[in-house]
Amino acid sequence: MSLDISYWCDGIICDYNYVFDPNVALKRYFGEKVKGDYIFLVDEAHNLVDRAREMYSASIVKEDFLEIKKLLKTTDAGYIDKRLVSWLDKCNKSLLEMKRECDDYRVFGDITSLKRLPEYLEYLSMGISSFLDKNKKFEKKDELLEFFFKIKHFLAMYDCADEKYVIYCEHDDEGNFVLRLYCVDPSGNISDRISMGCSTIFFSATLLPVNYYKEMLSGEIDDYAVYAHSPFKAEKKCIVASKDVSSRYTRRNDNEYEKICRYIYETVNAKKGNYMVFFPSYGYMENVKNMFMENYSCRPAETAFTAGEDICGKKDYINIYIATQRNGMNEEDREQFLKLFEEEKFDGSLIGMCVTGGIFSEGIDLKNDSLIGAVIVGTGLPMICRERNILRDYFDANEKDGYSYAYVYPGMNKVLQAAGRVIRTDEDRGVIELLDDRFLRPEYQKMYPREWENVISVRRENVRKQLDIFWKN
C-alpha cells in the first residue's frame, strides 16, 4: 500500500538499500536501463562506502551445499530430484578443489579462476527453482529459499565483477570454507545507480578528505564539491590534542591506561557536566574503566541506569558517575542510556564510556548542557583484519595510499563523527579532547576540518590549565 501511495509523493525518505542494493532496490522506480526524473539526496554519505561494499559483495560457503543435500535427503519432498543433487555435488566438488589449494586464504588472479563453478551454480539455481515449483509444501522451504537467494546474489555479483573486485577464499573462524567476491571499490556500482536519476547530492559533516569520497562514491574526481562554513563560533569549543598518549596496539598497557585516566579525571573536574569518552574497543574501554574506578576510590551507587557507578575522589573534587555502553544494546537500552544525559541531574559529572564508531558516536543529538565534552581515545583505526588488508593491497597496487584508504580515512571519519556530538546549536559550548600523539602528526592534521585550526597541544600535567582558561572565558 505504501509503495502505491509513493506514486503520489514528491519525495521519498528511505534507507540506502532501497536505491543502491540490487536485491532490495524499488523495482518500480529502478527498472533495467530506466532513467527517471529523480534527484537523489544522500544524507550521512560517509557511511555509503562501506555499505555499498557489502551490498555489492557476495559469498558462498562450501558446507552449505552439503547441508542442503542432507536436507533434501532427510525430508519428505515427494521425490528426490537426482539432477538437483548432482548439481549440488558438482558445486561442492569445485569448492573442494579450491579448499585443497588453500591453507589459510588465497586471492585469485581474476574471475576465470572460478572455472566452471558459475556454470554449475546457474544450473543449481534453476534446479532449486524447479524443485520448489513442484514441491510447494516442502517442509524445509524457508531454508532452501535462503540458500537459493544466496546463490542468485552470488551469480548477480559474478556478472558485474570487474577489476574493482577481489576474489578470494578462506577458512573462517568456524572452520567453514568460504568463497567471496569482494567489491573493494564500489564507485562503479554506485555510479550505475545514480545514473538512473538526473542529479545526486551527497551530504555529510565528515566527507574528509573530499577527494577520497569523490573517488569512492562516484569515481569522478571532477564532481563539484561544496565545503559549507560552520555556523558555530570557533571560540565556543576548545580542542586539545595530547602529546604523551598513544593507543597503538604495542602501547596498550597499564602505563598508557593510567595516563588516559588522568586526562579523563582532569577534564570532567574542570567543569561539572556531562561527557562522553570514546574508546577503540570494548576491551580497551573496560581496561580503562576498571583502572579509573580503582584509582579514584570507587563505590557502588544507585542511578537511573543500572550501569552507573559513583566515583568519590578527593574532597575538593566533584563526584563522577559512569554509564557504560554495552555490546548488543537494543533500542530501549539506547534510549535509557541517552535519557541520563537528557534528563538526569547529578551532583557531579556524568561520563558515558562508549566505543568509537558505535551507536553513540554518530546520529545522536545532545543539545545545550546535555553534553559539554567528548574525549576520543585513539585515531579510530578499524581493527586489522583480512578484508582491510585486501583493501590496502588493492589500492597500493593501483598507486594509491592503500593504508590510508583502508584504515586512516575511515578511522578519522569516526573520530570526526564522535567529536561532532559536542556542538549541536549556536548556544552550545564544549571541549573536544584527542588522546593520541598521532593527531599532532602532519598526515592527520591535514584531515582536520577548517573549524579545527586552533588545536592546542597538551600534556596531562597542563591539560587542566588549558581547560580552566576555556571555561572561565
Structural domain contains residue 140: yes
The answer to whether 295 and 261 have CB atoms below 8 angstroms apart is yes
Residues 207 and 155 grouped into a single domain: no
Residues 295 and 318 grouped into a single domain: yes
pLDDT tens for each residue of 306-361: 333 444 444 345 688 888 999 999 999 999 999 989 876 777 888 999 999 999 99
Residues 265 and 395 grouped into a single domain: yes
CATH code: domain of residue 130: 1.10.275.40
Confidence of residue 74 (pLDDT cuts 50, 70, 90): low
Confidence of residue 129 (pLDDT cuts 50, 70, 90): very high
Rounded distance between C-alpha atoms, residue 473 and residue 464, angstroms: 14
Position 88 scores a pLDDT of 95
Average pLDDT over residues 25-48: 86
Average pLDDT over residues 133-137: 84
Position 303 scores a pLDDT of 40
Position 153 scores a pLDDT of 97
Structural domain contains residue 228: no
DSSP per residue, 90-147: HHHHHHHHHHHT-SSEEE-SSGGGGTTHHHHHHHHHHHHHHHHHH-TT-TTHHHHHHH
Position 126 scores a pLDDT of 95
Residues 62 and 175 grouped into a single domain: yes
Position 300 scores a pLDDT of 32
Give me the amino acid identity at 447: M
Residues 241 and 358 grouped into a single domain: yes
Collapsing DSSP to helix, strand or coil, 65 comes out as helix
Residues 120 and 152 grouped into a single domain: yes
pLDDT tens for each residue of 180-226: 999 999 999 999 999 999 999 999 999 999 999 999 998 888 888 89
Which are the contacts of 317, defined by CB distance < 8 A and separation ≥ 6? 269
- Asked if residue 304 has pLDDT above 50, the reply is no
What is the number of domains present in the chain?
3
Structural domain contains residue 410: yes
The answer to whether 374 and 385 have CB atoms below 8 angstroms apart is no
Average pLDDT of the chain, as a whole number: 90
Confidence of residue 76 (pLDDT cuts 50, 70, 90): low
pLDDT tens for each residue of 385-402: 999 999 999 999 999 999
- Asked if residue 424 has pLDDT above 70, the reply is yes
Residues 213 and 285 grouped into a single domain: no
Position 77 scores a pLDDT of 52
Structural domain contains residue 223: no
Confidence of residue 1 (pLDDT cuts 50, 70, 90): low
CATH code: domain of residue 290: 3.40.50.300
Structural domain contains residue 229: no
Position 317 scores a pLDDT of 55
Structural domain contains residue 402: yes
Domain boundary among 159, 183, 207: 183
In percent, the amount of the chain with pLDDT more than 70 equals 93
Residues 150 and 202 grouped into a single domain: no
pTM over 0.85: yes
Residues 50 and 71 grouped into a single domain: no
Residues 213 and 247 grouped into a single domain: no
Position 35 scores a pLDDT of 81
Domain with 74 in it: 58-183
Structural domain contains residue 71: yes
Structural domain contains residue 250: yes
pLDDT tens for each residue of 91-120: 999 999 999 999 999 999 888 999 999 999
The answer to whether 395 and 406 have CB atoms below 8 angstroms apart is yes
Residues 362 and 423 grouped into a single domain: yes
Residues 173 and 208 grouped into a single domain: no
DSSP per residue, 154-209: HHHHHHH--TTEEEEEEE-TTS-EEEEEEES-THHHHHHHHTTSSEEEE--S---S
Position 318 scores a pLDDT of 64
